[in-house]
Amino acid sequence: IGEQVSLKCSFKSTSPVTESLTIDWTYRPVTSGQMETIFHYQSVPYPTTVGKFKDRISWVGNVAKGDASIAIQSPAMSDNGTFFCSVKNPPDT
């Protein structure tokens, strides 16, 4: 609580990494089943601009090394939930 936390995500692809590669991080709180997108990447990172994670997510990954990790600043118990990482590198999904 209160310190930066890294959410690790790694991927392997049979296709070379191109600007078509996309990464989506979604979050589902413990208290409700409503999923929300908290981070998107396509050539550059797009952290969420709304919701509880606004201004708290940073990109720490490196797609050339198969790393799609993000970091969350100042985590709190209210952030508890399930975080999902999805990487698509067309034509490889």
Q: Where do the domains of the chain lie?
A: 4-88
As a whole number, mean pLDDT of residues 45-63 equals 96
Could you tell me which CATH number the domain at 4-88 has?
2.60.40.10
2: pLDDT strictly greater than 80:
no
As a whole number, mean pLDDT of residues 58-77 equals 96
What confidence score (pLDDT) does residue 57 get? 97
As a whole number, mean pLDDT of residues 82-90 equals 96
What is this structure's pTM? 0.93
CA dihedral sign, ordered 69, 62, 21, 10: negative
Which residue in this structure is represented by tokens 């990790």? Answer: 69
The amino acid occupying position 25 is W
